[in-house]
Amino acid sequence: MYLAVKDVVPVKDYQLILTFENGEKRKFDMRPYLETGIFKELKDEVQFNTVHLSFDTVEWNNEADLDPEDLYKYSESITE
């Protein structure tokens, strides 16, 4: 079972602040993905900042998306 993403906020240095359905906030680093396939387009900060929720995960206007399981697994827990 995976946790759905309920909120996403893009921040500097190609990071995403994610809120999952359990209320947990986590930071996901997109930099390792920016050299691969469709994600290369996200090097443009305007394009990167188009990130939005799509069903239970995140998606960009160029139709790039990531699996919510990977977003959780490869992100770091943050405290406010």
Name the pTM for this structure: 0.94
The per-residue pLDDT of the chain, averaged, comes to 96
> For the domain 5-77, what is the CATH code?
3.30.2020.10
Half-sphere exposure of 31 (CA within 13 A, CB side): 7
CA angle centred on 38, ends 12 and 46, rounded to 5° = 35
pLDDT at 69: 96
Please list the alpha-helical segments (H only) found in 1-80: 45-48, 68-73
How far apart CA 48 and CA 61 sit, in angstroms, is 9
Q: Does 80 have pLDDT greater than 80?
A: no
pLDDT at 28 over 80: yes
pLDDT tens digits, residue range 41-55?
999 999 999 999 999
